[in-house]
Amino acid sequence: MKRIIVLTFVLLSVLFVLSCAPQPSEEDALAELEELSDEDLDAALAEEEGAVAGQAIYKAPAAVKKTVSLFKWESCSETDAGADYGTAGTTTLSYTYAGKQSMKGYSDRCLNETILIEYSCAADNSYRRSTQGCPNGCINGACYQRVTPPTEIDSDADGVGDSRDLCPATSAGHAVDANGCSDLQVDKDSDSICNAGASSSGPSACTGSDNCLGTANADQVDTDTDGVGDACEPSP
């Protein structure tokens, strides 16, 4: 009987000592939360013990739950609207610890070149931390998003976009030069002499400035030197 009484007393003494163990500092408690695995942290912070989305019920270790219970979560806000892996954000928490009001911010961060640590708010005003793989790489707290450039508009379908096309409305099937100009658009009479003021030289690379537009006159003869080729004057 005496032995049972002694053992009971020892057990109660141990429990008393444990219950009176000093509470960790706020910094130590926060650091402990950060060192937890995603699974332990999520289970400990979840409103329903151990609820992990898409997995079997998991119970966080007692020590973890004890640390989490020291916090009273009051509010949570985010700059990136939830678990947005493509945007680096900060989750800010307002809470009470040991009767003292405090705030703490957690910024999304890259664990390495391809793994993102993403923070977000939970319904109970605590936070959640998730690990996300980034196929294109993790840069400055966000998964890099490869953006496909918009297709340039090419109204005349000549292979040269409108923003670079010096000769719009090219007829279908006509070859064009790098500036989007067909031979007929820059050399109307096909005499290899460019139209006056031509935007480009066309695929055949015309030259000069035609003095008789509309009538082929590769020689460009202008007997009376009036600027109009003989081919365009009945009586030069």
Is residue 165 located within the same domain as residue 133?
Answer: no
Confirm whether 111 is domain-assigned: yes
Confirm whether 12 is domain-assigned: no
Mean pLDDT, rounded, of the chain: 84
pLDDT digits (tens, 9 = 90+) for 43-101: 778 744 444 455 555 677 777 788 888 889 999 999 987 678 889 999 999 999 988 99
Is residue 41 located within the same domain as residue 122?
Answer: yes
Confirm whether 208 is domain-assigned: yes
Is residue 91 located within the same domain as residue 114?
Answer: yes
Which amino acid type is present at position 99?
G
Angle formed at CA 163 by CA 160 and CA 166, multiple of 5 degrees? 65
Q: Which domain holds residue 193?
A: 153-227
Neighbouring residues of 190: CB distance < 8 A, sequence distance ≥ 6:
183, 184, 216
C-alpha closest to that of 71 among 93, 96, 42, 92: 96
Is residue 64 located within the same domain as residue 128?
Answer: yes
Element (H, E) at 43: helix 38-45
- Find tokens 């109307």 and name the residue: 188
Q: What is the pTM of this model?
A: 0.52
